[in-house]
Amino acid sequence: MFDFEKDVELVHGDTPRFLRERKRMIKEQVVARDVNDPFVLAAMEAVPRHRFVHERMEEAAYDDSPLPIGENQTISQPFIVAYMTAALELRGTERILEVGAGSGYQAAVLAEIVDRVYTVEISEDLVIEVALRLKRMGHDNIEVRYGDGYLGWPEKAPFDGIVVTAAPDHIPESLVEQLRIGGRMVIPVGQKEQELLLVTKLEDGSYKKESRIPVRFVPMIRQTEKNN
């Protein structure tokens, strides 16, 4: 039998049921934990998270957890995406760098809010997949690059904000350099478990850092390690 909730396509594989699940995700996982930035909430409602996971994982796309995206990598828990995006305090005109494109979900959420998103991915398999996915979904303000995000994307710097979604064991100097004065970077730093740091670049080129919440990200891979 025809099921309106499941079988009607709103746009690009979105359905009324998935939209409802997204609204519930935002209420129960994001707003309930005090992330209230209206830009972030609207972006998370607009981006169909189930389109960023494998089809057989679709049903779990709105759960309160990270999900596998292949290559031993995961798409972050919705709350963490919301928290990191909100920490940048976006107003809509920014140019943002993301390190670790993964599934493209975080980039898509950012791209709903800001002018332009640059995202770097080190996995050859994932980078092809994510570039195709974002293009197919019509995100024409996201540029994807294959490479070591540890080095940032100097040609496109300075950035108003940087989101790092794999964990290095210290703050990469090159990323601080590519941040504009007053710009903010959210970055998980540490080994197995990390603290999410909010880094703000100061007038004199140095930075201040604040520890926000404990998080668990996959480690950041260095190109040099990969080639060895």
Q: Quick check: is 211 catalytic?
A: no
Selected binder of ligand SAH within 162, 166, 187, 189 (CB under 6 A): 166
CB of 97 to ligand SAH, least distance (A): 11
Output the CA torsion sign for 6, 8, 12, 15: negative
How open is the CA angle 102-169-182, to the nearest 5 degrees? 80
Selected binder of ligand SAH within 21, 112, 121, 129 (CB under 6 A): 121
If binding means CB under 6 A, how many residues of this protein chain bind ligand SAH?
A: 24
Residue 209 makes CB contacts below 8 A (sequence gap 6+) with 171, 197, 198, 199, 200
- Binding to ligand SAH in span 27-66, by CB under 6 A: none
Encoded tokens for 48: 């169909």
Residue pair 167/188 in contact (Cβ under 8 Å)? The answer is: yes
Distance of alpha carbon 211 from alpha carbon 223, whole angstroms: 27
Per CB under 6 A, 152 contacts ligand SAH: no
Residue 204 makes CB contacts below 8 A (sequence gap 6+) with none
Which range in 27-35, 37-45, 121-129, 152-160 contacts ligand SAH by CB under 6 A? 121-129
SS3 192: coil
Spot the catalytic one: 65, 76, 174, 206. 76
Per CB under 6 A, 194 contacts ligand SAH: no
CB of 103 to ligand SAH, least distance (A): 3
Residue 127 makes CB contacts below 8 A (sequence gap 6+) with 101, 121, 144, 145, 146
What does the per-residue mask of binding to ligand SAH show for 204-223, with x meaning CB under 6 A? --------------x-xx--
- Binding to ligand SAH in span 80-119, by CB under 6 A: 99-100, 102-103, 105-106
Binding residues vs ligand SAH (CB under 6 A):
69, 73-76, 99-100, 102-103, 105-106, 120-123, 126, 148-150, 165-166, 218, 220-221
Hey, which residues are catalytic here? 76
